[in-house]
């Protein structure tokens, strides 16, 4: 793998190459043997362009959150690599590592668990400033924290308050302000709105969009709410049981899903319109998601797939580009057009 030169605007900001993360299942009192692996992420690849929002969707247990944490280097990867702005995350150390920790930040799902309950808002938002010695003077740091609070729509007068004094939506804003403190270029948003009430979700989503416009941020938006993903993302990747099922521009994916899993997933999303709801055909999948400890052979979806063929249980489907920018891993999808021998592209 050749390293792209850093800060090249034409390169994707984030490149994930065959990323794997297994969680070993250990047994034994002192000497622990590995008796199995939870294959949470089992070889995923994608790229995120500068200023883009990539959605990563899938059902619980599909490995989307683990993927987000592993690609940031917060979990050691079992295999594969991530490049953020040209830096190899898994091999970074020292200054390189700290630079990645400044440039790439995370926004969490649970606004209650992601803020230290014993710290004031000032200490929480100021932590990146302290850790990276961006602002060491106390007064200047308070000024910057107040600025960040204003940026996310919080009143700076509450700077000395504790997280429990804020509502869920406000806490999420505190978490966003902390993520922005070190002037990052890339944010992994791990289900940032799923713990919030409907009327608050739109506030947070709009805030994220405004911040992206203002600060030129790049997002990886991990979520299970497919409606919101369609709204906020540019491209969307669908994961199933640790592997990629489909990746495409959002409107492509939502209007012409190719993978049977994507089709079922999209058809199951409720639409807030009774007329549409009555008309819609739903593909009801049978059964549950199999265990990631012993994932099914061949195509991992074949146990629930409505169009599965015998060979699906034997051969792992190739991750291929069916039309430009539309990737899918399924045996049963035919390329709609093959570039002819005289094709110019």
Partner 1 sequence: MNPLTTPRFNVSAPDSRHVLLDIRHLQVRFHTPEGTVYAVNDISYQVHEGEVVAIVGESGCGKSVSMMSILGLIPVPPGEIAEGTAEFMGTDLLTMAEDKLEAIRGSEIAMVFQDPMTSLNPVLSVRRQMTEALRRHYGMTGEQATNRAIELLELVGIPDPARRLGNYPHQFSGGMRQRVMIAMMLACNPSLLIADEPTTALDVTIQAQIVELVMRMREQLGMALIWITHDLGVVAGLAERVIVMYAGMVVEEADVDSLFDKPRHPYTMALLAALPRVDRRRDSRLKSIPGAPPNLLVEPRGCPFAPRCEYVVDRCLHERPPLLAVSPTQRAACWVTTGDPAFATSNEFRNNSR
Partner 2 sequence: MATLDSVPVILSTGGDELAPPLTFRQMAWRRFRRHRMAMFGAIVLIMLFVYAFAGGLIYTAERANFTDTTIRLSPPSLAHPFGTDTVGRDVMARTIQGGRISLMIGLTAAFLEILIGVLIGAAAGFYGGVVDSLLMRFTEAMLIIPSLFLLIVMARIVGGSVFFIVIILGLTSWMYVARIVRAEFLSLKQNDYILAARSIGTPTRDIIFRHILPNSMAPIVVAATLAVATAILSEAYISFLGMGVQPPTATWGNMLDGSYNYIESAPWLWIFPGLLILLTVLSINFVGDGLRDALDPRSRNA
Q: Which residues have C-beta within 8 Å of that of residue 199, sequence separation ≥ 6?
A: none
Is the torsion defined by CA of 81, 73, 45, 249 positive or negative? negative
Binding of partner 1 at residue 222 (CB under 8 A)? no
Stretch that binds partner 1, among 8-16, 87-95, 191-199, 336-344 (CB under 8 A): 191-199
Binding of partner 1 at residue 281 (CB under 8 A)? yes
Q: Choose from partner 2, partner 1, none: what does 284 bind? Cβ within 5-8 Å by kind.
A: partner 1
Buried b (16+ CB within 10 A) or exposed e, 86-117: ebbbeebeeeeeebbbbbbbbbbbebeebbee
Site for partner 1 in 286-345 (CB under 8 A): 286-289, 306
Query: Hey, what are 123's tokens?
Result: 């200490």
Whether 302 and 261 have beta carbons less than 8 Å apart is answered as no
Site for partner 1 in 136-175 (CB under 8 A): 167, 169-170
Smallest separation, CB 159 to partner 2 (Å):
10
Residue of 107, 176, 226, 247 interacting with partner 1 (CB under 8 A)? 226
Other CB atoms within 10 Å distance of the CB of residue 130: 14
Q: Choose from partner 1, partner 2, none: what does 157 bind? Cβ within 5-8 Å by kind.
A: partner 2
Smallest separation, CB 270 to partner 1 (Å):
3
For partner 2, the binding residues (CB under 8 A) are 29-30, 32, 69, 72, 74, 97-98, 101-102, 104-106, 108-110, 113-118, 120, 127-128, 131-132, 151, 153-155, 157-158, 160-162, 164-167, 170, 175, 178, 182, 203, 206-207, 210
Smallest separation, CB 329 to partner 2 (Å):
30
Smallest separation, CB 78 to partner 2 (Å):
16
Is the torsion defined by CA of 49, 58, 257, 345 positive or negative? positive
Which burial class, exposed, middle or buried, applies to 273 when counting CB atoms under 10 A from its CB (0-12, 13-18, 19+)? Answer: exposed
Whether 27 and 39 have beta carbons less than 8 Å apart is answered as no
């Amino acid at each position: 793998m050749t390293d792209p030169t850093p800060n090249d605007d034409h390169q994707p900001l984030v490149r994930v190459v065959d990323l794997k993360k297994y969680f070993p299942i250990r047994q034994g009192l002192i000497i622990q043997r590995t008796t199995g692996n939870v294959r949470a992420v089992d070889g995923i690849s994608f790229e995120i362009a500068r200023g883009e929002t990539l959605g990563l969707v899938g059902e619980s247990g599909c490995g989307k959150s683990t993927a987000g944490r592993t690609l940031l280097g917060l979990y050691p990867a079992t295999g594969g690599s991530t490049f953020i702005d040209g830096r190899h995350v898994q091999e970074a150390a020292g200054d390189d590592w700290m630079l990645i920790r400044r440039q790439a930040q995370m926004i969490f799902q649970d606004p209650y668990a992601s803020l230290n309950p014993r710290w004031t808002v000032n200490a929480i938002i100021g932590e990146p400033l302290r850790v990276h010695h961006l602002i060491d003077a106390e007064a200047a740091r308070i000024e910057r924290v107040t600025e960040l609070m204003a940026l996310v729509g919080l009143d700076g007068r509450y700077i000395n308050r504790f997280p429990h004094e804020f509502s869920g939506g406000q806490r999420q804003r505190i978490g966003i302000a902390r993520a922005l403190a070190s002037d990052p270029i890339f944010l992994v948003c791990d289900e940032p709105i799923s713990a919030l009430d409907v009327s608050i979700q739109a506030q947070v989503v709009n805030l994220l969009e405004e911040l992206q416009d203002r600060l030129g941020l790049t997002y990886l938006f991990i979520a299970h709410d497919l409606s919101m993903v369609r709204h906020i993302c540019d491209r969307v990747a669908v994961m199933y049981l640790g592997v990629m099922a489909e990746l495409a521009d959002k409107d492509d994916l939502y209007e012409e899903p190719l993978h049977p899993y994507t089709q079922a997933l999209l058809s199951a999303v409720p639409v807030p319109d009774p007329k549409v709801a009555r008309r819609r055909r739903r593909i009801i999948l049978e059964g549950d998601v199999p265990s990631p400890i012993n994932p099914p052979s061949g195509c991992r979806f074949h146990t629930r797939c409505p169009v599965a063929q015998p060979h699906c249980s034997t051969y792992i489907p190739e991750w291929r580009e069916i039309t430009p920018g539309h990737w899918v891993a399924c045996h049963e999808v035919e390329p709609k057009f093959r570039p002819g021998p005289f094709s110019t592209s």
